[in-house]
């Protein structure tokens, strides 16, 4: 399993063409990428079981709040774990190794990650939830992100084996997807779009997750990979769109939960520019006032709008 946990330097290159296969179908057209309203296109290679990708949720959520009108993000699945028979990572080659790895990185990321799922009900592959996400994209791109967020919460906090259809279906119901259509696409078209994602990732030289390619209409490109502080995401966007203006769409803490109905303590802290301890005090106050509820996991809290 090759999710990236180290901090690597920002790579900045200039290209005359975007390194993508023009014959491959994507959810974002060239016209959308070039739109003056969305001058930057972000191609994001991720995986539902990637702990490092879970680690950058706070940064991505803040970027959307502050600069969302300046970019279009396209989610691609990277195929982190096909099956354990094909796993050749020298450090992680069995489920128990992932449990230990997650225990180590959870504190580093600041995000709640419970590795016990790998001891109690280990996933055999990340392909089923990845294909399910591609099936959700076929129905609706925005709703697919609600689905993806939910299966991550189920895995990292609730210790649910999201490679099983019963949990995929539960997340789909939460996101209000059409279950019959999801199942049909899961067994059909989504298999092909998932394979396309894997093929393009090889063409683009993706070597770990998370990997994000920022590109503007002039072909300028910034590659960002690994778990990075928020300023690196902001700087990557501003390199390609210097005219971007920072905005916040919420004015109160309650307003933030109107936009993101679930938040971890660290997400709230990053978005509101606070230390985790200060964020926790505010969140406990909102909880005591019965504005939010909480799910307490072994490694942290998920705060949920009531």
Between 91 and 48, where is the model more confident?
Answer: 48
Asked whether the beta carbons of 144 and 120 are under 8 A apart, the reply is no
Show me where the domains of the chain are located.
11-16+34-212, 253-305
Matching residue, tokens 């096909």: 82
Query: Average pLDDT of 190-203?
Result: 97
Residue 251, pLDDT score: 83
Query: Average pLDDT of 44-54?
Result: 98
**pLDDT (tens digit per residue) in 81-99:** 999 987 666 688 899 999 9
Residue 163, pLDDT score: 98
Residue 250, pLDDT score: 84
Residue 198, pLDDT score: 98
Specify whether domain 253-305 bears CATH 3.30.450.60.
Answer: no
Would the pLDDT of 70 be above 50? yes
Structural tokens at position 32: 């959308």
Q: How confident is the model at residue 107 (pLDDT cuts 50, 70, 90)?
A: confident
What is the rounded average pLDDT for all residues in the chain?
Answer: 88
Which of 11-15, 66-70, 204-208, 251-255 has the least mean pLDDT?
A: 11-15
Whole-model pTM: value is 0.88
Would the pLDDT of 76 be above 50? yes
Asked whether the beta carbons of 240 and 215 are under 8 A apart, the reply is yes
3-state SS track over 179-245 = HHHHHHHHHCHHHHHHHHHHHHHHHCCCCCECEEEEEECCCEEEEEECCCCHHHHHHHHHHHCCCCC
Specify whether domain 11-16+34-212 bears CATH 3.40.30.10.
Answer: yes
**pLDDT (tens digit per residue) in 223-253:** 999 999 999 999 999 999 999 999 887 889 9
Q: How confident is the model at residue 153 (pLDDT cuts 50, 70, 90)?
A: very high
Residue 85, pLDDT score: 87
Nearest partner of 216 among 246, 235, 239, 232, judged by Cα: 239
The rounded distance, in Å, linking the Cα atoms of 76 and 144 is: 12
């Amino acid at each position: 399993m090759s999710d990236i946990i180290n901090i690597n330097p920002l790579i900045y290159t200039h290209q005359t063409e975007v390194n993508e296969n023009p014959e491959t179908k994507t959810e974002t057209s060239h016209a959308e990428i070039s739109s003056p309203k969305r001058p930057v296109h972000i191609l994001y290679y991720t995986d539902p079981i990637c702990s490092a990708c879970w680690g950058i949720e706070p940064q991505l959520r803040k970027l959307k709040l502050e600069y969302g009108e300046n970019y279009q993000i396209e989610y691609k699945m990277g195929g982190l774990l096909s099956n354990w028979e094909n796993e050749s990572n020298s450090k992680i080659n069995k489920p128990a190794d992932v449990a230990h790895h997650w225990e180590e990185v959870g504190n580093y990321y600041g995000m709640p990650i419970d590795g016990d799922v790998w001891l109690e009900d280990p996933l055999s592959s990340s392909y089923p939830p990845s294909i399910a996400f591609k099936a959700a994209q076929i129905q609706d791109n925005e709703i697919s992100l609600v689905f993806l967020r939910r299966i991550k919460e189920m895995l990292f906090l609730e210790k649910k084996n999201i490679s099983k259809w019963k949990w995929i279906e539960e997340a789909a119901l939460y996101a209000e997807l059409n279950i019959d259509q999801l199942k049909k696409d899961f067994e059909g078209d989504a298999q092909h779009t998932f394979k396309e994602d894997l093929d393009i990732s090889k063409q683009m030289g993706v070597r770990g997750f998370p990997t994000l390619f920022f590109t503007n209409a002039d072909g300028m490109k910034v590659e960002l990979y690994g778990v990075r502080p928020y300023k690196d995401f902001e700087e990557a966007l501003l390199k390609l769109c210097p005219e971007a203006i920072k905005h916040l769409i919420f004015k109160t803490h309650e307003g933030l939960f109107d936009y993101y109905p679930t938040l971890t303590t660290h997400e709230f802290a990053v978005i509101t520019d606070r230390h985790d301890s200060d964020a926790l005090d505010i969140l406990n106050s909102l909880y005591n006032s019965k504005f939010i509820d909480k799910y307490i996991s072994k490694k942290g809290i998920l705060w949920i709008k009531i």
